[in-house]
Structure 1
Amino acid sequence: MSSSTAGLDMISVDPRRVADLQENLAEVQARVDKAANGRPVTLVAVSKYMPPSDLQLLYSSPHRQLHFGENYLQELLHKSSLLPADIHWHFQGALQTNKCKNLASQIRNLWSVETVDTVKKADALEKGRRSVLEGKGEVGEEGKKWARLRVYVQVNTSGEESKSGVEPPEAHALCRHIHNSCPSLTLSGLMTIGSRSNSLSSSEENPDFKTLVSVRDQISKELGVELGLSMGMSSDFEEAIRMGSTNVRVGSLLFGKRKTKEEMDELKKRTAETEKAR
């Protein structure tokens, strides 16, 4: 374990938790591989509210989980300061424009931001990433250069008011802007959450996924670039993969019942007290 994770040694871990997490990861990865049928698909472990020890266990498992998804900047900053530097963090939460610069400039191993839905947010991420690519922070203590930040444009494919994302016709202009005007960002693809009813229906292909595939194909042709798809969660990731997803976001199947924010705050408090007493 690296020095950055030394504090995790003080967290008591139930051996049964170790076995459960490793078994869950092996099962989910096998299902991903079967659905992908030889095609590369990234499994992102959605780890919001999960204690750093759980993430460390998946990272240290025989399957070596590298990709983790977080929804809140402060929680991501906390975990990234504790866990290994080669973890690939995905930001998957609601993106606030005023936090984009810090998100892009403070986390070296931030792999992608999957929830870009406005030009303002893209420009703020560009500004934050450019500040470290061109400034003093280009090469850090570990001698690793900062990389261009991968981003996905979030598309509201279900038309639900409760969902974030641009409307499908508006995705073209935003993707063009990122591709042509944000040199510190890399347009990786499109992302959607879709409606719960469509994800649970087994009568036909998920219409939200079909919409995202269609929009992606149009934009890829227009820009002349190969774009990925981030779609599919615990209830529907296999169908999403069969329909072309290159990035799936799975939480409950890996970690079990998610901790509440209150429970997570209490765990942080107890961990801090333990580290202080060392």
Structure 2
Amino acid sequence: MKVDPSRASTLVANLTAIQSRVAGAASIGQNVRLVAVSKLKPANDILALHQAPASHVHFGENYAQELREKSELLPRAIQWHFIGGLQSGKLLTHSAIPNLFCVSSVDTAKKAHLLNTARAALPDLPKISVHVQVNTSGEEAKSGCEPGDATVALCREILENCPSLHLLGLMTIGAIARSKATTAETENEDFATLKQQRDLVEKELGLEAGRLELSMGMSEDFEGAIKMGSGEVRVGSTIFGQRPPKAEAKITA
């Protein structure tokens, strides 16, 4: 697979700028995972950032088939994140990807059990880490568990009855208006809610404080998310540029 040197230079510069901003927003001792969201971008772009000098590892995809095709083309050292809506019929696709690091959109016990069963059928592969997605904004169009009892119950179900899954933490996308208004100095209500839910789950399930990470923050608001304790941020267009329409996207350039 060819990598265009000019395109690679642009991508590395963009990634380096984001990494610098992430480091600047993080407090001393705070580790933040940067997931480069590569949906609808060609595998060539991912390879450009995965190889030296950037050597980036964590990449996020929204569509099951696109993730599967890219994972077959690109090095196994990449750690994939599935961050799109989970469809029951596609869970086998996710589970069979050996270097799938995390599924960040588990919002029902049914999906958790289906993913667990599919992964359990592949005993040579490690557990899949998952985030429980919480609907912190209350928007009907948003996926995610309701805050409170539903979130606690789903986390308990994964911990107690899904041995092929590892509960990594909680995730939210939040309201767009709140995202646009977020800065490193202003508090985002969705981020505050997710933090409260994380603390609630840890208390109710008897987990050590800080055992569960927070995954929140995207291109427009990741610095504010980091200031509020996020351990993972997802940045796409700021690194890769504007995405093409899905119908025009290509797996390779």
Structure 2 SS opposite 1:84: coil
**Structure 1 residue aligned with 2:120:** 130
CA displacement at 1:55 relative to structure 2: 0.2
Does the alignment pair 1:32 with 2:22?
yes
- Report the Cα distance in structure 2 between the residues aligned to 1:61 and 1:240, rounded to whole angstroms: 29
Does the alignment pair 1:91 with 2:82?
yes
Amino acid at match of 1:114: S
Larger Rg: 1
Amino acid at match of 1:131: A
Structure 2 SS opposite 1:132: coil
Does the alignment pair 1:62 with 2:53?
yes
CA displacement at 1:60 relative to structure 2: 1.2
Moved more, 57-66 or 21-30: 57-66
Aligned mate of 1:236, from 207, 221, 226 = 221
- Mapping of residues 78-227 of structure 1, within 5 Å: 78-104=69-95, 106-133=96-123, 138=124, 146-169=125-148, 170-202=150-182, 204-223=186-205, 224-225=207-208, 226-227=211-212
Does the alignment pair 1:45 with 2:36?
yes
CA contact (8 A) 1:153 1:190 kept: yes
**Structure 2 residue aligned with 1:3:** none
TM-score (norm 2): 0.93
- Report the Cα distance in structure 1 between the residues aligned to 2:153 and 2:182, rounded to whole angstroms: 33
Structure 2 SS opposite 1:168: coil
Higher relative contact order (CA 8 A, sep 6+): 2
- Report the Cα distance in structure 2 between the residues aligned to 1:72 and 1:86, rounded to whole angstroms: 20
Identity percentage of aligned residues: 51
TM-score (norm 1): 0.85
CA contact (8 A) 2:32 2:231 kept: yes
Give 5+ residue unaligned stretches, structure 1: 1-7, 139-145, 272-278
CA contact (8 A) 1:73 1:103 kept: yes
CA displacement at 1:131 relative to structure 2: 0.6
CA displacement at 1:202 relative to structure 2: 4.4
Superposition CA RMSD, Å: 1.4
CA displacement at 1:260 relative to structure 2: 1.6
Cα distance per residue 1:69-93 (max 9 Å; x no partner):
0011110110000000010000000
The number of residues matched between the two structures is 246
**Structure 2 residue aligned with 1:4:** none
Moved more, 14-23 or 199-208: 199-208
Moved more, 47-56 or 13-22: 13-22
- Report the Cα distance in structure 2 between the residues aligned to 1:69 and 1:100, rounded to whole angstroms: 16
Structure 1 SS opposite 2:137: coil
Structure 2 SS opposite 1:34: helix
Aligned mate of 1:262, from 235, 247, 252 = 247
